[in-house]
């Protein structure tokens, strides 16, 4: 028995997918449509989407935030896991990318659960705080510009309730966080990982799923 996480070779990864993945047909179709996109690697993996769906259901989330929507796979995944009166505030700066996902949200019947705001997320979050929405959210997923993560974190930590969850994507950054940094993105993720490790405001787990997913529960 190993005390470490397994390395998944292609065969074992396929086994994992074959024995766990339960995608909605529109999720599969959107993933396929995004696969040919030049920036397709920005999309989360399907097992990560399913894991986030489980988290949303486990904490009974009704109000969610997403920072970095890209073509809309993660927003679709979360929206499918929400109850009928659940909502996700999806923040992105690209009308072009997010418009790819909208028809899939429609066909999956969850378009009215997704409130897409095209603007810098820092502004959108600030506006929600100014509108008195601190503590009103259950779950936030941060997956946008890495140098912005810390600012998004501080605002999301105010917006989520006690016991609410914040998930950060890409916190292992293809392994680069464990090496000397040569660029701003890597430095930003290293600083964030250091900060989260010491942060007494939260409970923390860093998971080697996808490109690294850090889960933070607000104390």
Nearer to Ca ion, 89 or 144 (CB): 144
Interacting stretch for Ca ion, rule CB under 5 A, among 82-90, 141-149, 158-166, 172-180? Answer: 141-149
Catalogue the long-range contacts made by 102-111 (C-beta closer than 8 Å, 24 or more residues apart).
Answer: 102/72, 104/26, 104/27, 104/29, 104/30, 104/33, 104/72, 104/76, 105/26, 105/72, 105/75, 105/76, 105/79, 107/26, 108/24, 108/26, 108/27, 108/76, 108/79, 108/80, 110/76, 110/79, 110/80, 110/82
Q: How many residues make contact with Ca ion (CB under 5 A)? A: 3
Interacting stretch for Ca ion, rule CB under 5 A, among 47-55, 105-113, 133-141, 166-174? Answer: 166-174
Interacting stretch for Ca ion, rule CB under 5 A, among 2-10, 132-140, 149-157, 170-178? Answer: 170-178
Residue 169, interface with Ca ion (CB under 5 A)?
yes
Nearer to Ca ion, 26 or 143 (CB): 143
Report the chain's terminal Cα–Cα distance, integer Å: 34
CB contact at 8 A, 66 and 141: yes
> In whole angstroms, what is the distance from residue 162 CA to residue 35 CA?
37
Nearer to Ca ion, 20 or 174 (CB): 174
By three-state DSSP, how is residue 149 classified? helix
Residue 170, interface with Ca ion (CB under 5 A)?
yes
Residue 143, interface with Ca ion (CB under 5 A)?
yes
Residue 92, interface with Ca ion (CB under 5 A)?
no
> In whole angstroms, what is the distance from residue 127 CA to residue 111 CA?
23
Smallest distance, Å, CB 41 to Ca ion?
A: 8
Nearer to Ca ion, 133 or 211 (CB): 211
Q: Which residue from 134, 118, 141, 124 is spatially nearest to 59, judged by alpha carbons?
A: 141
Interacting stretch for Ca ion, rule CB under 5 A, among 59-67, 85-93, 158-166, 169-177? Answer: 169-177
Smallest distance, Å, CB 44 to Ca ion?
A: 6
**Binding-site ranges for Ca ion (CB under 5 A):** 143, 169-170
């Amino acid at each position: 028995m190993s005390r470490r996480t397994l390395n998944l070779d292609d065969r074992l990864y396929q086994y994992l997918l074959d024995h766990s993945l339960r995608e909605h047909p529109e999720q599969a179709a959107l993933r396929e449509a995004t696969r040919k996109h030049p920036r397709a690697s920005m999309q989360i993996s399907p097992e990560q989407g399913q894991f986030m769906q489980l988290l949303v259901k486990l904490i009974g989330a009704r109000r969610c935030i997403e920072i970095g929507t890209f073509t809309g796979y993660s927003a679709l995944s979360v929206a499918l896991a929400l109850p009928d009166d659940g909502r996700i505030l999806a923040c992105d700066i690209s009308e072009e990318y997010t418009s790819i996902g909208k028809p899939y949200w429609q066909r999956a019947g969850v378009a009215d659960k997704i409130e897409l705001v095209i603007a810098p997320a820092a502004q959108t979050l600030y506006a929600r705080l100014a509108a008195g929405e601190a503590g009103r959210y259950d779950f936030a997923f941060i997956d946008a510009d890495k140098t912005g993560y810390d600012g998004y974190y501080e605002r999301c930590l105010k917006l989520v309730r006690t016991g609410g969850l914040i998930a950060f994507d890409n916190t292992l950054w293809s392994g680069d966080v464990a090496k000397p940094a040569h660029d701003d993105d890597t430095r930003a993720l290293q600083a964030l990982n250091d900060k989260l490790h010491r942060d007494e405001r939260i409970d923390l787990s860093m998971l080697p799923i996808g490109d690294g997913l850090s889960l933070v529960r607000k104390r």
